[in-house]
Amino acid sequence: MTALLGNEQLTWYIARASGITAWFLSAAAVLWGLFLSTGVLRGRPRRPWLLDLHRFIGGLTVVFTLVHMAALIGDNFVHFDLVDILIPMASEWKPSAVAWGVVAFWLLLAVEITSLLRRAVVPERVWRAVHASSFLLFGFATVHLLQAGTDADNPLLFWPIATVSFLVLFLSWWRILVGRSNPNGTSPTPRRDTPGLTRRSELSSVG
């Protein structure tokens, strides 16, 4: 207990706890984004509520990622400086495992900043392209957690990670299958080339 409260140990615990929290938050942000883009929840809860929560979770992901990075710099167990955590492969401690996290952080920042400046400054096409990199950032963060995380092989953490990752993969597959939902409605707009999803009106217009 004394060791846990010692300053050296405390920053290391904060770094680990905030890193794990940031990963779960990024997964939640991606899941909520997919709820929005697929319309899989069919309007319950309503889209504005989902969007507000999605934005809140996205912001919280950035906050916890910054806490994670600050705690790593403040920690003396492994020595990190600003360059180590901002430049991929600069870290002497597990350089490639850390690099996945560094790249995920930059992508997260790009997604968040373009979203905050959406409409006012960032055109819709650019916002959408940058936002699509959320899938990549989630993948990179997952590799980072599994390779660099001290606790990743603890079953109490591993199984929740595996379950949440499966959910993200499943909904991403669903997103590819049905395309994007109509932003004004609630149900997914079927892609013309998706077998079995062609609307009757489209069939009659062909004939």
- Site size with ligand HEM, rule: CB under 6 A: 25
Which region among 68-76, 93-101, 109-117, 152-160 touches ligand HEM (by CB under 6 A)? 109-117
Query: Within 156-175, which residues bind ligand HEM (CB under 6 A)?
Result: 175
Give the residue ranges of DSSP H helices in 75-123: 82-86, 95-116
Query: Within 60-89, which residues bind ligand HEM (CB under 6 A)?
Result: 61
Nearer to ligand HEM, 47 or 75 (CB): 47
Do 70 and 30 touch, CB atoms closer than 8 A?
Answer: no
Nearer to ligand HEM, 11 or 57 (CB): 57
- By CB under 6 A, tell whether 54 contacts ligand HEM: yes
What three-state secondary structure class fits 15?
helix
Nearer to ligand HEM, 21 or 115 (CB): 115
Nearer to ligand HEM, 79 or 128 (CB): 128
52 CB-near residues (< 8 Å, 6+ apart): none
Alpha-carbon span 173 to 177, nearest angstrom: 6
Do 6 and 153 touch, CB atoms closer than 8 A?
Answer: no
Alpha-carbon span 104 to 115, nearest angstrom: 16
Short-list 78, 73, 74, 75, CA closest to 86: 73
- Measured CA to CA in angstroms, residue 71 lies from 75, 82, 85 at distances of 6, 11, 11
Which region among 6-14, 96-104, 106-114, 185-193 touches ligand HEM (by CB under 6 A)? 106-114
Alpha-carbon span 115 to 109, nearest angstrom: 10
- By CB under 6 A, tell whether 28 contacts ligand HEM: no
Smallest gap, in angstroms, from Cβ of residue 206 to ligand HEM? 27
Nearer to ligand HEM, 33 or 149 (CB): 33
Smallest gap, in angstroms, from Cβ of residue 96 to ligand HEM? 22
- By CB under 6 A, tell whether 34 contacts ligand HEM: yes
Answer positive or negative: Cα dihedral of 43, 135, 14, 112.
negative
Residues of the shown chain interacting with ligand HEM in the complex, contacts defined by CB under 6 A: 26, 29-30, 33-34, 36-37, 51, 54-55, 58, 61, 108, 111-112, 115-116, 131-132, 134-135, 137, 175, 180, 183
